[in-house]
């Protein structure tokens, strides 16, 4: 299957470099030139008409978010690009930052103009040392050509961009944690309401936070018009998505397709070259490590939003927002993690729990205490002390976290546990039984682990 690239059109193209001359040669900044002659509210209307949904995880329509912006407060308005890219399994924003930074800058400036922000930030994860340098350089290149800074292209509109580096904390990806971090504090997320960024964001001013890919989409929406953009994909699932495929496939990588243009099976087999020879598909985590796991031999039945009934095997699931939500998971950040039949599910969950236990900010008791507890249980199970009742215990703890915390990290940490137990409980119980019988035979109960 051929990719249909929009955002990644130039990425990895022979001879394409990340400097401004190359970008301009390929039609760069034409949309910014157009944008600054438009009425800001007309750009917002195009973005709404495009139906573009956020690419950072939650899939919230960008146009609707922009409408929530408090424009009457009299306070400055800020735009923040979320370039924290830290949901395990996600690696698309990195490509844009490294290989086509001006696309992001142009998308940001168009968006900033639309919401009338005069200062924008790129919050980039601290580990992107090179990405940081590339962005800083790109911003100075754009400034030198009056595409950024004071009185952009003589339009009377001014906007600067500050690149702000994070320092290794996953919770900075959560937008209110990000804002706290940008204010110079610990990244403790804020409670919503009242702290919806569009009303009370950075410095208590109205703020729009969007993902890197979402902001790039805005450039293309201006280019082709919201209406034309909305025709890519299916209604409610518009535009393209960059699927980041990792794990047990022959050709892992990033692949861009219109929403719903292919099924999960096509992505695995036709695009990613299938599994290693002799291996069978066991499970897929379709939208970053916090999305709920899908089991390869499940049947997914139900009704879509528009009322059509579906009855799918895992490989029939269309790759788009609504279909993945309909099967009980989500497209999230586009990180598709493939696991074949060599994968030990208890170890895989232990690995995921380790991550979330490490990353809880510690504000809410259920999250601060519960997530490390889940990690301890799965670590103990892998170390030879599994108990048959552990699966229920894990599920119990997870149920007491989800829905009881300040931010959605609680769900992000609970969903893997809940879904692994719902789908693979047999393996958790089996692990305890196998360890007990090895112990009886006088052998060490634990076996060598590979994922933890």
Partner 1 sequence: MELKPETLEKIDRLVPRYPVKRSAALPLCHLVQEDLGYLSDEAIEWIAERLELEPINIAEIVTFYPMLRREPTGEYHVRVCRTLPCALGGAYQTCRRLEEALNVKVGHTSEDGKVTLEFVECHADCGKAPVVMVGETEYTEVGLEAADSMAEKIKNGTL
Ligand X SMILES: Cc1cc2nc3c(=O)[nH]c(=O)nc-3n(C[C@H](O)[C@H](O)[C@H](O)COP(=O)(O)O)c2cc1C
The contact set with ligand SF4 (CB under 6 A) reads 171, 189, 360-364, 367-368, 405-407, 409-410
Fill in the DSSP letter of residue 329.
S
Determine if 124 is a binding residue for partner 1 (CB under 8 A). no
Least Cβ distance, residue 46 to ligand X (angstroms): 16
- Among the listed residues 3, 87, 180, 256, the single contact to ligand X using CB under 6 A: 87
Residue 11 to residues 29, 101, 106, 162, 282, Cα–Cα distance (Å): 17, 10, 16, 24, 32
Q: Which residues are CB-neighbours of 316 under 8 A, at least 6 positions away?
A: 263, 264, 265
Whether the CA torsion 9, 10, 11, 12 is positive or negative: it is: positive
List binders of partner 1 among 285-304 (CB under 8 A): 285, 289
Interface stretch with ligand X, choices 53-61, 229-237, 240-248, 442-450 (CB under 6 A): 53-61
Within a 10 A sphere around the Cβ of 330, how many other Cβ atoms? 19
Q: Which does 343 bind (CB under 5 to 8 A by kind): partner 1, ligand X, ligand SF4, none?
A: partner 1
- Inter-axis angle of helices 365-380 and 409-440, nearest 10: 20
Q: Which does 173 bind (CB under 5 to 8 A by kind): ligand SF4, partner 1, ligand X, none?
A: ligand X
List binders of ligand X among 159-198 (CB under 6 A): 171, 173-175
Q: In what order do the strands lie in the sheet with 207-211?
A: 160-165, 119-124, 78-83, 207-211
Decide: 431 and 439 in contact? Cβ < 8 Å: no
- Inter-axis angle of helices 390-401 and 365-380, nearest 10: 160
Interface stretch with partner 1, choices 8-16, 176-184, 394-402, 404-412 (CB under 8 A): 176-184
- Among the listed residues 247, 258, 286, 410, the single contact to partner 1 using CB under 8 A: 247
Interface stretch with ligand X, choices 39-47, 307-315, 379-387, 403-411 (CB under 6 A): 403-411
Q: Which does 58 bind (CB under 5 to 8 A by kind): partner 1, ligand X, ligand SF4, none?
A: ligand X
Tokens 């009855």 -> residue: 311
Q: Which does 412 bind (CB under 5 to 8 A by kind): ligand X, partner 1, ligand SF4, none?
A: ligand X
Fill in the DSSP letter of residue 315.
G
Determine if 117 is a binding residue for ligand X (CB under 6 A). no
Determine if 140 is a binding residue for partner 1 (CB under 8 A). no
């Amino acid at each position: 299957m051929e990719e249909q690239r929009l955002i990644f059109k130039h990425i990895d193209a022979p001879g394409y470099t990340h400097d401004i001359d190359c970008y301009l040669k390929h039609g760069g900044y034409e949309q910014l030139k157009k944008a600054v002659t438009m009425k800001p509210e007309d750009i917002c209307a195009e973005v709404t008409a495009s139906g573009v949904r956020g690419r950072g995880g939650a899939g919230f329509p960008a146009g609707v978010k922009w409408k929530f912006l408090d424009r009457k407060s009299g306070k400055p308005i800020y735009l923040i690009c979320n370039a924290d890219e830290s949901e395990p399994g996600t690696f698309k924003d990195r490509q844009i930052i490294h290989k086509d930074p001006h696309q992001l800058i142009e998308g940001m400036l168009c968006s900033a103009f639309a919401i009338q922000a005069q200062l924008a930030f790129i919050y980039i994860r601290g580990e992107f040392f090179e990405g940081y340098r590339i962005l800083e350089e790109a911003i100075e290149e754009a400034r030198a050509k009056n595409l950024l800074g004071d009185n952009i292209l003589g339009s009377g509109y001014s906007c600067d961009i500050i690149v702000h580096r994070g320092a290794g904390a996953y919770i900075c990806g959560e937008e209110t944690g990000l804002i706290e971090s940008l204010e110079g504090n610990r990244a403790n997320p804020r409670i919503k309401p009242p702290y919806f960024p569009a009303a009370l964001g950075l410095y208590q001013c109205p703020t729009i936070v969007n993902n890197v890919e979402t902001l790039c989409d805005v450039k293309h929406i201006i280019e082709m018009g919201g209406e034309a953009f909305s025709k890519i994909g299916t209604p409610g699932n518009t535009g393209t998505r960059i699927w980041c495929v990792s794990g047990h496939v022959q050709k892992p990588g990033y692949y861009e397709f219109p929403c719903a243009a292919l099924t999960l099976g096509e992505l695995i087999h036709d695009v990613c070259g299938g599994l290693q020879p002799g291996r069978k598909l066991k499970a897929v985590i379709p939208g970053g490590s916090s999305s709920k796991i899908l089991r390869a031999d499940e049947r997914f039945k139900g009704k879509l939003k528009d009322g059509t009934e579906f009855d799918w095997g895992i490989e029939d699931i269309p790759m788009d927002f609504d279909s993945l939500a309909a099967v009980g998971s989500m497209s999230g950040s586009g990180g598709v993690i493939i696991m074949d039949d060599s994968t030990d599910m208890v170890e895989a969950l232990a690995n995921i729990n380790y991550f979330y236990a490490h990353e809880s900010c510690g504000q809410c008791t259920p999250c601060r205490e519960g997530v490390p507890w889940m990690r301890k249980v799965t670590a103990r199970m892998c170390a030879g002390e599994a108990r048959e009742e552990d699966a229920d215990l894990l599920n119990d703890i997870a149920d007491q976290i989800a829905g009881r915390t300040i931010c959605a990290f609680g769900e992000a940490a609970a969903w893997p546990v809940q879904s692994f137990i719902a789908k693979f409980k047999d393996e958790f119980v089996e692990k305890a039984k196998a360890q007990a019988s090895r112990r009886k035979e006088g052998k060490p109960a634990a076996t060598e682990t590979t994922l933890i």
